[in-house]
Structure 1
Amino acid sequence: MFDPDYDLFVAIVEAGSISAAARVRGLSTPALSKRLARLEERLGVRLAQRTTRRLALTPAGQDLFDTLMPLRAALSAAEDRIAGRHAGVSGPLRLTAPTSFGRMHVVPCLPAFVARWPEVDLAIDLSDEFVDLLDGRYDLAIRIGARIGAGLVGHRLGTSSRVLCAAPAYLAAFGEPQALGELSRHRLLATTSQLPWQLDGPEGTVLQQGTSAIRTNSSEVVRELALGGCGIALRSLWDVADALAAGTLCRVLPDYCGSQDVGVFAVHAPGAPTRVATLIDHLRAHIEIAALLPEVG
């Protein structure tokens, strides 16, 4: 790619923490921490405030990351063009993605992909169901979680930062919790598989037990219920940032957020054809990564 230390810096930011990047790269956390410190010393500036679990970019770090991302995408595209790696990319490619994330972030990337590689027979299904990638029905899945699944190959596209939030009408009717323990007295909203919530806060990582006030298997339903004043939800910033900015949702217990180990992954079975790698490269270059990064500052 480019300078190995820049490559490492981008990998750490995309993973959301030094420890998460170390797991992805198969290296030790102290080794990656030393490499990041070496880059900071070389540049003469602090790039990030960090622990092993969380990362917050400084203004200089954010500037460097914003500069490196388009350079990396341009370099990758140039290498592909010169080496002719994508010549003759064709054949069937069936993609599955979570409903909300797919609609908001994956589907908008696809017209450019289809225009560039018209010989790929692309099909996409949006579903919050966890599909089996080893049975051959799908070539690639976008998954949001802390793990990609045994026997699969995963490519991390970004970190899915999540916050607790509720509508102003709910908070006016039931009050705003001031401590984590008060959540047990509130109406929680989650899909059937989401609870207990794993939260990072001042005391480290905690599990918030509970039962969803309304049962559903749809992440989009949870979002709409939260907007409708039905309870408190743990939602990804890529999903609710606009609602938070507009005031139709309010952040609750701002000292807590969803575990930063949760990432957005492109996942496939081993031995995937070239067209799968081509689509992954395209998604990595075009998905709005800024929407997936942890909050900074």
Structure 2
Amino acid sequence: MVDKEYELYARVIESGSLAAAGRTMGLSPAMVSKRIARLEERLGARLLHRTTRKLTTTEAGQRFYERVVDILTASREAESLVSAADGAPAGRLRITAPTSFGRLHVAPHLKPFLERWPRLKLEIDLSDAYVDLLAERIDLAIRIAPVIGGGLTGLRLAPNRRVLCASPDYLKQHGEPKKLADLNRHHLLAAVAQLPWRLQGRSGPVVVPGESIVRTNSSEVVRELALAGMGIALRSTWDIGPDLRAGRLRVVLPEHPGASDVGIFAVYPPAKFVPAAVHAFIAYLQDLYGPEPFWDRDLAIPA
């Protein structure tokens, strides 16, 4: 079917390789190559330049891709409009979320949602990179940020409480900071672009500059480094709640939590018609998390 070939072509462009596109659609690289060649033959134009190391679009291929995205978007909106006529979300729902949050607080809760709406076909991508929702045709993104931004529409799902923390072993070896200035003599841990830290102070927001002793693009690595006793990290309670309860990590400088304006949002591209599946998933997450998320309940943090 033409729409399937269009979908495959768009996946090839967005993923940057035949193999990656094939994995998302259950096809071998050879089959993807065959179907793209068949599409080029039917159109009478070369769409892609392919080498062993790189895949790029031709000028015609880029123009075709832009139109394909429009066609696929319009098709999905039409299908969602019809399928929602009976009030039951149906069709494909593509979601992206930060890696750790998605693994801990989205994936484990998908079963009840899909059981309630069995006609949905869910795709979920976990990534800490900034995802262009329009370019990659993502229906819904979960983002942890001060504001939604980017011309997107969305709703706040939950607060994002953050605290400075370290392992008991690290504090035993290096001492516990008593004031913000003490952080200058401590090992700091943060992923790329997460420093300087934005914290709350008695008189308002404060900024703590510094450099992580280990350079990493992974927030999960930062948590593991903190647990291993390598330094002080600024972590969200949804991430380290079990470690705080078990005593594997301790809160330091509790009077200086992370900036309070950061929240957990569900965002989606602006559209004339928002699929019923998007509204259903947002409502499900709002009910699941609530104004006091389950990961913060019974979490004793000294004031």
Using the size of structure 2 for normalisation, the TM-score is: 0.67
Aligned to 1:100: 100
Structure 1: which amino acid aligns with 2:295? A
Contact 2:241 2:296 in 1 (8 A): no
Aligned to 2:191: 191
Contact 1:159 1:292 in 2 (8 A): no
Contact 1:86 1:278 in 2 (8 A): no
Aligned to 1:48: none
Deviations, residues 22-59 of structure 1 (Å, cap 9, x unaligned): xxxxxxxxxxxxxxxxxxxxxxxxxxxxxxxxxxxxxx
Deviations, residues 46-97 of structure 1 (Å, cap 9, x unaligned): xxxxxxxxxxxxxxxxxxxxxxxxxxxxxxxxxxxxxx98724111111111
Distance 1:192 1:87 in 2: 44
Contact 1:109 1:283 in 2 (8 A): no
Structure 1: which amino acid aligns with 2:281? L
Unaligned runs of 5+ residues in structure 1 are 1-83
Shift of residue 124, structure 1, vs aligned partner: 0.7
Aligned to 2:276: 274
Equivalent runs, 1:116-195 vs 2, <5 Å: 116-195=116-195
Distance 1:193 1:130 in 2: 12
Contact 1:109 1:287 in 2 (8 A): no
Shift of residue 147, structure 1, vs aligned partner: 1.5
Contact 1:222 1:233 in 2 (8 A): yes
Identity of matched residues, %? 52
Greater relative contact order (Cα 8 A, min sep 6): structure 1 or 2?
1
Shift of residue 172, structure 1, vs aligned partner: 1.4
Shift of residue 137, structure 1, vs aligned partner: 3.0
Aligned pair in 2 of structure 1 residues 137, 105: CA closer, same or farther (>3 Å)?
same
Aligned pair in 2 of structure 1 residues 85, 187: CA closer, same or farther (>3 Å)?
farther
Aligned to 1:202: 202
Contact 1:154 1:266 in 2 (8 A): yes
Shift of residue 292, structure 1, vs aligned partner: 5.6
Structure 1: which amino acid aligns with 2:216? T
Equivalent runs, 1:29-44 vs 2, <5 Å: none
Aligned to 2:214: 214
Distance 2:258 2:89 in 1: 39
Shift of residue 291, structure 1, vs aligned partner: 2.8
Aligned pair in 2 of structure 1 residues 85, 263: CA closer, same or farther (>3 Å)?
farther
Structure 2: which amino acid aligns with 1:89? P
Q: Does 1:291 align with 2:288?
A: no
Structure 2: which amino acid aligns with 1:249? L
Aligned pair in 2 of structure 1 residues 168, 122: CA closer, same or farther (>3 Å)?
same
Aligned to 2:230: 230
Distance 2:288 2:275 in 1: 21
Aligned to 2:3: none
Distance 2:228 2:86 in 1: 47
SS of the residue 2:205 aligns to: strand
Aligned residues: 214
Q: Could you say which structure has the larger radius of gyration?
A: 2
Shift of residue 134, structure 1, vs aligned partner: 2.2
Contact 2:196 2:210 in 1 (8 A): yes
Contact 2:143 2:267 in 1 (8 A): yes
Distance 2:95 2:158 in 1: 18
SS of the residue 2:106 aligns to: helix
Distance 1:87 1:128 in 2: 33
Deviations, residues 194-252 of structure 1 (Å, cap 9, x unaligned): 11111002121100111111111111111111000011000111111211111110111
SS of the residue 1:257 aligns to: coil
Contact 1:158 1:292 in 2 (8 A): no
Contact 1:160 1:292 in 2 (8 A): no
Say which is worse superposed, 85-94 or 212-221, in terms of deviation.
Answer: 85-94
Aligned to 1:243: 243
